[in-house]
Amino acid sequence: MPYLTAGVTENWLEYLFAMQDAGADAIEIGLPFSDPMLDGATVQQSSDRALARGVTVAGILRELHTVRHRVRVPLIAFTYSNLVFRPGPTVFCRQLAEAGLRGLIVPDLPLDEAGEVEAAAAAAGIDLTLLVAPVTPDDRLAEIAARSRGYIYAISHMGTTGERDSLAASAATVVARIKRVARLPVLVGFGISGVEQVAAAGRVGDGVVVGSALMRRVLDGATPQQLGAEVAALRGALDASDEEASADRTAYAEVSGDRR
């Protein structure tokens, strides 16, 4: 699931369709906010560029509504609670649904205060996906697993989004903890940068979110076609890790006789 800051360029929708054509299973659409507390420098810069262009949530949703007939994959809104509560969760979630979005992530929304947004999202047919961090205690993790919809977002390391040289060791640990109590797919995000990290994250989780590495390419002037090639390479790495895992599981089953 690649991430794209809405409005980062005038032709930002071309990047969306390039990602879709390159094999994205879903696309995370960042709704720009002036104080994105969990975003690192690259995504912040992409949000600043979008805001400098004068984009608004209403304008972004209008653009998405006009092209919804071309969208073949789920679009997941990623934004902050200020933008949700300004119009009110009911109005906000209804607007997301009308624009064709399927999910919502609000990383600064405390679990204990999520009830209103949770109800509004459910009423609008929007999956509210919750996040689990490496330091999330077991009791809270169990509640997140029970209340999250669509999938569970595993934060691979403590800190903001941004590129890293390798997958954090904490990623495997947090995913394993989630899988002990959850039935939903687990997607790994934060700091996933290149094909090697995507493959590594794919071996521990059920999917991968890549944001900063792609937004850096856009900020550096990559065309939609060039960004699509990046996404295709990440897709290939994830598929390869899946094939390796399937081969390992098959070999184990043939030796053990376990067919469950």
Residues designated as active site: 28, 39
Q: What is the CA radius of gyration of the chain?
A: 18
Distance (Å) of CA 135 to CA 87, 95, 112, 157, 170:
32, 34, 17, 9, 10
Distance (Å) of CA 162 to CA 4, 35, 75, 130:
14, 16, 21, 20
User: In whole angstroms, what is the distance from residue 180 CA to residue 164 CA?
Assistant: 27
State the pairing for strand pair 75-78/27-30: parallel
**Which DSSP letter does residue 137 get?**
-
User: In whole angstroms, what is the distance from residue 146 CA to residue 23 CA?
Assistant: 30
Name the packing angle between helices 195-204 and 224-256 (round to 10°).
40
**Which DSSP letter does residue 28 get?**
E
Classify each residue of 203-231 as buried b or exposed e, where b means 16 or more C-beta atoms within 10 Å of its C-beta. Answer: bbbbbbbbbbbbbbbbbeebebeebbebb
Long-range Cβ contact pairs of 84-87 (< 8 A, separation 24 or more): 84/109, 84/117
Pair of tokens at residue 22: 């390159």
Beta bridge partners of 77: 29, 104
